[in-house]
Amino acid sequence: MSNWQTLESKGISSKIPKGSVEDKWLGYKEDLKLVNPNNKRKFKVLVVGTGLAGASAAATLAELGYEVEAFTFHDSPRRAHSIAAQGGINAAKNYQGDGDSVHRLFYDTVKGGDFRARESNVHRLAEVSVNIIDQMVAQGVPFAREYGGLLDNRSFGGAQVSRTFYARGQTGQQLLLGAYQQLARQVGLGGVKLWTKVEMVDVVTVDGKAAGIVTRDLVSGEIRSHSGHAVLLCTGGYGNVFYLSTNAMNCNVTAAWRAHRKGAYFANPCFTQIHPTCIPQSDETQSKLTLMSESLRNDGRVWVPKDRDEKRSADQIPEEERDYILERLYPSYGNLAPRDISSRAAKRSVDSGLGVGPLKNGVYLDFSAAINRLGEPVVAERYGNLFEMYERISGENPYKTPMRIYPAVHYTMGGLWVDYELMTSIPGVYALGEANFSDHGANRLGASALMQGLADGYFVIPYTLGNYLAPMLNKPAPGVDHPAFKEAEQAATARYTGYMNIKGTRSPDYFHRQLGKIMWDFCGMERTKESLEKALGEIPALYEEFQKDLRIPGDMALNTTLEKAGRVDDFFQLGMLLCRDALEREESCGGHFRAEYQYDDGEAMRNDEEFAHAAAWEWTGDPMQSIRNIEPLEFEAIHLAVRSYK
Amino acid sequence: MSHIKNITLKIWRQDGPSAQGRFETYKVDSVTDEASFLELLDVVNENLLNDGKEPITFDSDCREGICGTCGLMINGQSHGPEKSTATCQLHMRKFTSGDVITVEPFRASAFPILKDLMVDRSAFDRIVESGGFITAPTGGAPDANLIPIPKPVADAAMDSAECIGCGACVAACPNGAAHLFTAAKISHLNLLPQGQAERYKRTEAMVETMNEHFGSCTNHGECEQACPKSISIDVIAIMHKDYRKSKLKNRKELARNK
Amino acid sequence: MAQVINRQRGPITGSATKARKKQPFLLDLYSTSVGKKYVMALTGLMGLGFVLVHMVGNLKMYLGREDYNHYAEFLRELLVPILPRTVLLWILRGGLIAAVLGHLHAAATLTKMNREARSVKYQSARDYQAATFASRTMRWTGTIVLLFIVWHILDLTAGTVNGGNFVRGDAYNNVAHSLNRPLVAAAYILANLALGVHLFHGVWSLFQSMGWSHPRFNKWRRHIAGGLASVIVLGNISFPILVLCKVVEVHA
């Protein structure tokens, strides 16, 4: 037991409203300070990142009348990685009449998160989930429909109701395009200034409050300052710290990390999610892993052969020689057990030598039962594009042979610590979507990431931001000529010229791969004290090598190697913090599995006595010396219980 | 897993938008057939960097064929030889040992080359900004099930909505036209009941913005073949019909509001 | 549309707020490529109607000199006595000339636009997947057809290149005289093949350009184009062939 300080004692409040969990958001909205419509244009809001959270926030704030500047490092906001989400988006609509409710979605999310999320935030998420569906349908998102013309739902891991709305296997794409179109409209109308191919490299604070950001233009290499009254970081997660993940190539932690270095606490970095249904790695040149939607588990059955030396092809193995691992271990949820539980079951099988495929690094996901029951056309209707995608990547036809899947890093529940208003510990700097830590606890349920990104951007920040801005009316904000901006610009220039001047021998990719391997081997799906200490020994050494032996050919203008170098640098620092967080959290919960803390049957052993809190790390100048503060989590509406899916 | 050996790559290198470009030749001794085409380029880049040379600049992000960031002209075809597949999902098993593969950037005046194989496709955003949306400010939406939409209509809208905005259609079009991109968005929104109020305003604005940047459609059908989402050129006919109607209807509106 | 970015890197905003230049309605419509394609399609349709009727009318040749010349005279006497002789014929000719000019202007401006849309061409060979020989050669087949029309009018309407035997009003003999020259017959056949290729793409294309699309019937559009092109070509090239085979002969 360490002497962690609570955030409260450091003068940082979670700002959780009073009242019962059902009344908190309503009560908050009634009490919050408003900015008059005519005064909104006097406030400038900088939105960094234009994925679901960023695009929806930027569009909505511009509609309200704020002056908005949006920044994306892509060539278009439509490229954000939200686009790759496949399965769907949850909402407590209860259109199927199967007993769903706001409370049940709230309950499932808290339980699914293994009781490490803040109740008040989760309840708000469940409340606004219904508005999201209304909003997206009004924008023209072509969700799947029944023949009667009403919206269709499917069920998803961790839930016993059908509450997931979907658009084929491209739900994320359709939602992102919806938000992007709304943003594009505001860009067209002049409500939003959109910067493309621009990366945020620092947050600027004046008197401890947000004053703006510093960016690097990826095309010209120019370093620029932008001042604003508030900064919204909607910059996604940090799964790429593992090198191989289902994140896009350019996903990075830089914006969040730079804010952290300026005083924003980083919460629960060790809560990383491993997605059970990805295509196993096939060779050493592999640059990323591809996820197959979790919705496949609705009709696919996970199994491995019972015999370690099985040589036959899948269809030659008779029923009685197969082990349907999830159905056997978790009869009530079966193949729909939550992600962390399913992932570990697969890992245990592969580790014990029962893996399938040429590298014996996967488990089967078999659709033959569904095809026999429903017929190939129905299965094709549900999963056709996923099957095609699988065939394109693996060269195998999943209608004939079972898919091979294996878990991969997919999502990060941890992120910048935020209070109830989504404000980080730097006043005026907010974090939305995957970039914050608030809603998913130690594990995120399927189809909840889209829900959270849109909830934060559409229905939370438009309210909470006004509460911060209202008292600042007519008080001048520091401009870009303030010394703090000049200082940050110089630091950014020095940083990037620094990379160029190392003139070593190795690429940023080389270091990223090495870092990723350490992270995955010692801090991946299963962690131990020894493995984490090993990682914490190896990462700083590798980091030192990175700082001495990096090579960046070319110049400071458009240079993708240079971009990568900055991102890998930040991943190194985050990696250390992540391992330290994992080391200090001496329990297993959700995506964080410490092998020392498990029951005899291999289930996670949570320690609510000591760890029913969020860890909020404070930057001190060295990630190995960061200070761990805590926000105790109180469970009023839901009793702490062992998370069982049996 | 087997290996593809002895590949010769002829890759377009260009230092900047106005610089003179040229093809450069690179040899790759061996790569597994499981590798994607972009992973092959990763290997070439790693080798270039190790030799102290500047890696080839190309765009890619999700590498799952959905974000639309990647896009190369491979052996004279947008996204290469595999149908309905973005460059990132093209795997080396589609090639054979000894192949000579020529790689160029997507070319169109509206897609200026930033460097090497990376182009700027922001002209697409201008088209969407001009009308590729349904005006639905946050907060005021009615219940999602208020308007039933027949499944075939929703499905047809979804077929069009699948566009990933990669620009392969423009790149493949002998005329550098963006009709498939524009029409896919128009058809997605114009088919849905929610999109009716702005249907004709949208169509006119989008077509006319498209016209400022891109060429004309002569119905070759190359775009459909190049499209990683196999969007049918039927959507172009829908756009042509709605543009005609929109000109007449908007003219009437204009006269009425005088 | 040059291949250069000189603009300062900056944010995009207000891109949809500038008002478009106001022009008279038809010019406005014609200012976009889609509008120009309507003109291509409609003038093409007029041309198609003409070549089809022209071919069917000329089949009268097989009924003999009298019937054929009677048909030619009938055309001059269309709507007589409401209109004086040849007036309607000239109105139709005027319409066709306007169509040809419209077709040419649209084609020329669209071609220019397309060239500008890709100011730097691909530097390696393209591997076309869907574009057909017909679609790729519209400019050339169109030019051949245009040159042929000019020559055809000089040959059989004005009579200046008919070989010195031209007798106004004796269409039958004029045709037979003209096509009896093997080189002329060969040019005639070639030009009609070019016309067929042009129609094969043009007819299908006009459905697309006009937005005449129906999921149930779309597959028929290619067949209609192929069918019409074949019928017209077969009908038209039967004339020189039969003249050369002496089935149609000059009557003294």
Residues B2-37 as b/e (b if ≥16 CB within 10 A, e otherwise) read eebeebebbbbebbbbeeebeeeebebeebbbbbbb
**Other C-beta atoms within 10 Å of B140: how many?**
9
Listed residue (A617, A571, A615, A624) closest to A589, CA to CA: A615
| B212: contact with A, CB 8 A cutoff | no
Q: Are C16 and A188 a contacting pair at CB < 8 A?
A: yes
Q: Are B63 and A174 a contacting pair at CB < 8 A?
A: no
Handedness of CA B72, B77, B78, B80 (dihedral sign): negative
C81 φ, ψ to 5°?
-95, 10
Distance CA C56, CA C155 (A): 20
Mean pLDDT rounded to a whole number for chain A: 94
How confident is residue C6, by pLDDT bands cut at 50, 70 and 90?
very low
B12 φ, ψ to 5°?
-75, 125
Q: Which DSSP string do the residues of A425-440 spell out, in sequence order?
A: SSTTEEE-GGGB-SSS
Which of A137, A138, A553 lies at the smallest CB-CB distance from B49? A553
Tell me the count of A-C CB pairs closer than 8 A: 32
Q: How far is CA C202 from CA A78, B145, B232, in A?
A: 37, 45, 19
- In C, what residues contact A, Cβ < 8 A? 9-17
Which of A139, A219, A462 lies at the smallest CB-CB distance from B134? A139
Instruction: Give the tens place of pLDDT for each residue, A102-126.
Output: 999 999 999 999 999 999 999 999 9
Domain ranges, ordered by start, for chain C: 34-110+137-244
Locate CATH 1.20.58.100 in chain A.
484-632
| C120: contact with B, CB 8 A cutoff | yes
CATH code linked to domain C34-110+137-244? 1.20.1300.10
Question: Six-digit token pair at A215?
Answer: 């960016």
Q: At what angle do helices A508-523 and B37-50 cross, to 10 degrees?
A: 120
Residues with Cβ within 8 Å of residue A452, at least 6 apart in sequence: A53, A125, A433, A434, A439, A440
Locate CATH 3.90.700.10 in chain A.
276-409
Q: Among A104, A118, A301, A339, which one carries the catalytic annotation? A: A339
Burial of A196 (0-12, 13-18, 19+ CB in 10 A): buried
Q: Are B125 and A76 a contacting pair at CB < 8 A?
A: yes
Active site residue A258: no
- State the DSSP H helix or E strand holding residue A36, giving kind and residue range, or none if neither: none
Is A38-273+411-472 assigned to CATH 3.50.50.60?
A: yes
Residue A204 one-letter amino acid: V
Residues with Cβ within 8 Å of residue C82, at least 6 apart in sequence: none
Which of A151, A246, A553 lies at the smallest CB-CB distance from B54? A553
**Full-model pTM:** 0.95
pLDDT in the model for residue A414: 97
Handedness of CA A595, A596, A598, A604 (dihedral sign): negative
Handedness of CA A106, A109, A115, A118 (dihedral sign): negative
Question: Six-digit token pair at A124?
Answer: 């708000």
For each of the domains in chain B, give its residue range(s) and CATH number, in order of start: 3-115 (3.10.20.30), 122-256 (1.10.1060.10)
C204 φ, ψ to 5°?
-60, -40
Whether residue A21 is predicted with pLDDT greater than 50 in this model: the reply is yes
Distance CA A207, CA C246 (A): 103
Q: How far is A283 from chain C (nearest CA, A)?
A: 31
Mean pLDDT value across residues A353-357: 93
Locate CATH 3.50.50.60 in chain A.
38-273+411-472
How confident is residue A603, by pLDDT bands cut at 50, 70 and 90?
confident
Mean pLDDT value across residues C26-53: 97
How confident is residue C4, by pLDDT bands cut at 50, 70 and 90?
very low
Helix then strand count (H, E) for chain A reads 18, 21
**Cα atoms in the 13 Å half-sphere on the side-chain side of B31:** 29
- By C-alpha distance, the chain A residue nearest B190 is A140
Mean pLDDT value across residues C51-76: 94
CATH code linked to domain A276-409? 3.90.700.10
- In the beta sheet, which residues pair with residue A444? none
pLDDT in the model for residue C2: 35
Whether A266 contacts A414, CB under 8 Å = yes
Q: How far is CA C224 from CA A84, B45, C142, C205, C228, in A?
A: 42, 52, 20, 11, 6
pLDDT in the model for residue A476: 86
Tens of pLDDT, residue by residue, chain B (258 residues): 689 999 999 999 999 999 999 999 999 999 999 999 999 999 999 999 999 999 999 999 999 999 999 999 999 999 999 999 999 999 999 999 999 999 999 999 999 999 999 999 999 999 999 999 999 999 989 999 999 999 999 999 999 999 999 999 999 999 999 999 999 999 999 999 999 999 999 999 999 999 999 999 999 999 999 999 999 999 999 999 999 999 999 988 888 887
Distance CA A110, CA A412 (A): 16
| Fold exhibited by the domain A484-632 | Methane Monooxygenase Hydroxylase; Chain G, domain 1 (1.20.58)
Mean pLDDT value across residues A227-241: 97
Distance CA A91, CA A447 (A): 9
Report DSSP state, residue A151: B
Pick from C7, C13, C20 the residue to mutate for testing the A interface (most A CBs within 10 Å): C13
- In the beta sheet, which residues pair with residue A366? A301
Q: Where are the beta strands (DSSP E) in A111-217?
A: 154-155, 162-165, 192-195, 198-206, 209-217
Distance CA C161, CA C181 (A): 12
Whether residue C1 is predicted with pLDDT greater than 70 in this model: the reply is no
How confident is residue C3, by pLDDT bands cut at 50, 70 and 90?
very low
- In the beta sheet, which residues pair with residue C123? none
| C82: contact with B, CB 8 A cutoff | no
Instruction: Give the tens place of pLDDT for each residue, C87-123.
Output: 999 999 999 999 999 999 999 999 999 999 999 999 9
pLDDT in the model for residue C75: 94
Distance CA B10, CA A381 (A): 41
Which of C122, C208, C212 lies at the smallest CB-CB distance from B73? C122
Residue C247 one-letter amino acid: V
Task: Specify the length of chain B in residues.
Answer: 258
| B222: contact with C, CB 8 A cutoff | yes
